[in-house]
Amino acid sequence: AELVRWTWIEPTYSVEDAREQIDRCEAHRLSGFALPLAIVDATTDALLGKCDLSRPELSLPDIGELGYILCAAARGRGVATSAAYLLCEYGFRVLGMRRIEAYTHPENAPSIAVLDRLGFICEGHLHGYKTGKDGRPEDRLLFGAAPTLLRASHPARKYLR
């Protein structure tokens, strides 16, 4: 239920829907639009969630958008923060991005906490930014980070070369 609350995923999401989403993710990766990645446990290879870094406007390749989602069992362990940190570092260092943005619902406190821990700055409250599943407008908070804002002391930094 929590997963459904903060995402585009409907309560009726099926295995076939998941397969179609995987195909879309691969098409986005091949086109250069997005880099969708699985988040897995380093010891067991259990699937914990996914994260992605996209280029919402291909005409602005140095601006990225970060997304992440975790299964309930993976929450509260720093998994999203570590995965997002590594993906942002990749975006800045390898893809040459100068800015990465993230959008979250104002009531999604865990997501806001991830962005705060990473060093993202809340740059605005976007009123009526998205249409919710019920057809009503929903607000979003816009967060942004540049390479100099990302927390250089994050423990996941040890995985970087």
- Return the DSSP state at 146: -
Distance between CA 26 and CA 80 in Å, rounded?
A: 21
What single DSSP character describes residue 114? H
Report CA-CA distances (Å) from 103 to 9, 25, 30, 107, 121.
16, 19, 24, 12, 11
d(CA 154, CA 160): 11
Higher pLDDT, 54 or 22: 54
Mean pLDDT over residues 66-84, rounded?
Answer: 88
Instruction: Calculate the alpha carbon distances from 94 to 17, 90, 91, 142 in Å.
Output: 32, 5, 6, 24
pLDDT tens-digit series, residues 104-153: 999 999 999 999 999 999 999 999 998 877 788 999 999 999 988 776 66
Tell me how far apart the alpha carbons of residues 102 and 105 are, in angstroms, rounded to a whole number: 10
